Structure 1
Amino acid sequence: MHQKLTVPRRLPRRLPRRLTQLYVGLALYGLSMALFVQSDLGVMPWDVLHQGLARHFGLTIGTWSIIVGAVVLLGWIPLRERPGLGTVSNVFVIGIAIDASLVVLPEAHVMAGRIAFAALGLLLNAVATALYIGARLGPGPRDGLMTGLVRRTGGSVRLVRTGIEVAVVLVGWALGGTLGLATAAYALAIGPLVQVFLPRLTVPEMQPVPAEVVADTLAA
């Protein structure tokens, strides 16, 4: 039986794919958010807050996404969570992408078009989530807040995540954010959809390599 070794030098070969996957995923995430906004059938839970803040205080939804993301990231400090490149990129790239997408996307005036925008936004968001999480370069700030609170409080993931999102939606709705059928559809469907795409889009860990292959490589 051959001894198995892990070759650390194999990791950089996957870094270009991981970076590409990260930033494509974040850009598509912003586009999916814009599709929900333009559908006018309700937006994603955190976007209810971003939209409400934009309507109440001015600035764009993307700008508020960046501001809220940065504030949430500061909340990692007492929770002792460690951000990665993907975490910091999440804060800025998604906010920029949603504002850029809203500039070019038309409004859907007929119901069929609005439903199509919401459905496409939901599917695209699931793919985008699997892309940036699958890149394994750090969770988003809101995901890290959830995991940090779970670790600190001992509560379940379901309870903590539900509590955070209910609070966010209620505050956003009170500020004028759009809460509708698409919001409910997103809450019900995003988990199962991400579960479908995530295994297919996760960059695999380094695989063990037979010891003789390592020896031949080093000799060469």
Structure 2
Amino acid sequence: MNKFKRGQVGPRFLVYIIGLLVMSLGIVLLILADLGATPWDVLHVGLYFQLGLSIGSWSIIVGIFILIVASLISGELPKAGAYINMILIGVFIDLYLLLPFMQTPGSFTGKLLMFIAGIVIYCYGMGIYISARFGTGPRDSLMMALTTKTGWKVGPVRSCMEIIVLIIGWQLGGPVFWGTIVLSLSIGPIVGFALPQCQSLTDRFLARLKKPKVFIAH
């Protein structure tokens, strides 16, 4: 369990929630851009097509399975943040999709801009929430467990995960387009680039926090 300095639990949790909100927004933008969702969301949408429920619900259900696998690989129980992540990401996805202005653009240019924004927002959202060190979510717990187990860098591990999940989701009828291939190959390197930046910014933010001064009345 991570030990945080006194007075940092609240700020870290705030960074964590902001990261989850940002990443969920990126997921929804990629789905609505209609140029190909992330491999994980191809899986979630494919399950939605086959079995019903909602996309957010399948995000949570798949997350439970992934946490079990990550625990078996790492030999450790997931941190509390992993469970919070699993639930909130699913809820945030469904809430974003309910917003009336969240619509697929009518032009290809609009879709492309939404797609590019979605990639950047998704990867940096992931970097932000991981930097809070409240525990990674199911998919990122698996990524970190595999990284530790194999000694490989984050980029190659994440890319392999994305490709395997993409194949399963495609077989279930999930939305695969050229953008999905781009995402499968680019998410790993972009996360590998974004994570150190987000960690540095979060560490600087926390280092600037000062304990409130105590004034003694004379």
Matching of residues 150-189 of structure 1 within 5 Å: 151=148, 154=150, 156-157=152-153, 160-189=157-186
Q: 2:77 aligns with which of 82, 85, 98?
A: 82
When the two chains are superposed, the root-mean-square deviation of aligned CA atoms in Å is 2.6
Tell me the CA shift for residue 92 of structure 1. Answer: 0.8
User: How many correspondences in the alignment?
Assistant: 199
3-state SS in 2 of match to 1:138: coil
Give the CA deviation at 1:150. Answer: 5.0
Partner of 1:140: 137
Structure 2 letter corresponding to 1:64? W
- The Cα offsets for residues 171-198 of structure 1, whole Å up to 9 and x where unpaired, read as 1111111112222332343344334443
Asked if 1:66 corresponds to 2:60, the answer is: yes
Residue among 23, 29, 35 paired with 1:29 = 23
| Contact 1:28–1:125 under 8 Å retained in 2 | yes
> What is the aligned partner in structure 2 of residue 213 from structure 1?
none
Q: Percent identity?
A: 34
Give 1:193's aligned residue.
Answer: 190
**1:109 paired residue among 106, 119, 135:** 106
Contact 2:26 2:118 in 1 (8 A): yes
**1:62-112 CA distance string (max 9 Å, x none):** 110000001111223423133223211110111111111111111222211
The 3 A distance-change label for structure 1 pair 193 and 98 is same
Match of 2:10 in 1: 16
CA 145–199 in structure 1, closer or farther in 2 if over 3 Å, else same: closer
- C-alpha separation in 1, matches of 2:189 and 2:18: 21
Deviations 1:145-193 (A, max 9, x none): 23434555x4745665444322211111111111122223323433443
Identify which range, 163-172 or 35-44, moves more after superposition. Answer: 163-172
161-170 or 64-73, which deviates more? 161-170
Match of 2:127 in 1: 130
> Which stretches in structure 1 are left out of the alignment for 5+ residues?
1-7, 208-220
Distance in 1, matches of 2:151 and 2:197, equals 30
**SS at the partner of 1:29?**
helix
Asked if the contact 2:159–2:187 (Cα under 8 Å) also holds between the matched residues in 1, the reply is no
Once residues 193 and 151 of structure 1 are traced to their aligned partners in structure 2, the CA distance between those partners, rounded to angstroms, is 19
Cα 1:151–1:130, aligned 2, differ >3 Å: closer, same or farther? closer
